[in-house]
């Protein structure tokens, strides 16, 4: 790896699905977190494109997919919170 980092793989999908963590956020906090994730995802695309190691690239793609799903869920949840202004 050119930048000295080791490739880290995410847990297998089945392992991730066994553990659920519930996080409650105010709608504004969820929107902020979704925005931060969007910014990071943009940077991650550039890092994926500039990575020479195939193993590290695949790890980054897995991370991107997970973060994309989380950002989408946060964005959707922030729009549908009852009692919160839209």
What ranges do the domains of the chain cover? 25-79
- Rounded CA-CA distance 63/71 in Å is 12
The mean pLDDT of the chain is 80
Q: With 0-12 CB in 10 A as exposed, 13-18 as middle and 19+ as buried, what is 42?
A: exposed
pLDDT for the residue numbered 31: 85
Neighbours of 33 (CB within 10 A): 17
Mean predicted confidence (pLDDT) in 11-22 = 68
At 33-49, the pLDDT tens digits run 989 999 999 999 999 99
Q: Which of 26-30, 61-65, 79-83 has the lowest mean pLDDT?
A: 79-83
pLDDT for the residue numbered 5: 54
Q: What is the pTM of this model?
A: 0.66
């Amino acid at each position: 790896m050119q930048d000295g980092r080791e490739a880290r793989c995410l847990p297998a999908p089945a392992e991730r699905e066994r553990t659920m963590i519930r996080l409650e956020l105010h709608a504004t906090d969820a929107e902020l977190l979704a925005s931060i994730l969007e910014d990071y995802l943009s940077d991650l695309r550039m890092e994926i494109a500039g990575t020479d190691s195939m193993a590290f690239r695949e790890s980054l793609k897995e991370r991107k997919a997970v973060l994309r799903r989380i950002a989408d869920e946060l964005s959707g949840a922030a729009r549908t919170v009852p009692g919160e202004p839209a």
